[in-house]
Structure 1
Amino acid sequence: MFALAAALLFLLALIFEIAGVAVGSVVTVTTLGTAGLLCVALHLMGVGAGWSLKR
């Protein structure tokens, strides 16, 4: 799940970088990239792994 979130954050960062868009002073390309790297790190640590539906 964190890998999907990281991919979406990196996609937004790429689009913002290409379009030259910034959403205020808080959400920038650097912020989105850092959040994406955090999600990748959590994914590699195994956080969120092993979720399953129990019957």
Structure 2
Amino acid sequence: MLAIVAAIVFGIAFLFSLIGTSIGISTTALIALGLCLLALHQAGIGTSSVGSGHWRGRNRR
């Protein structure tokens, strides 16, 4: 989920860079936010592993 949000943030930063507009936050800050979200995604934060059964072991009886 965080990777999708990071992709949206990167897309917004790219569009603002192309158009040359600003909403009060710099493009660099948006890129830093996107990188932070990607780092959290890689760390496993924001993933929904509850209910998927990965932590129990699939073939254990």
1:7 equivalent in alignment to 2:10: no
**Higher-RCO chain (CA-CA 8 Å, sequence separation at least 6):** 1
Return the letter of the residue paired with 1:48: G
- Provide the secondary structure at the position in 1 that maps to 2:42: helix
Count of residue correspondences: 51
In structure 1, the residue matched to 2:16 is 16
- Provide the secondary structure at the position in 2 that maps to 1:14: helix
Return the letter of the residue paired with 2:31: G
The higher radius of gyration belongs to 2
Q: 5+ residue gaps in structure 2?
A: 53-61
2:34, 2:50 → 1: CA distance?
Answer: 21
User: What is the percent sequence identity of the aligned residues?
Assistant: 35
The one of 28, 34, 37 aligned to 1:36:
34
Q: CA RMSD in A?
A: 1.5
Q: 5+ residue gaps in structure 1?
A: none
State the TM-score, normalizing by the size of structure 1.
0.83
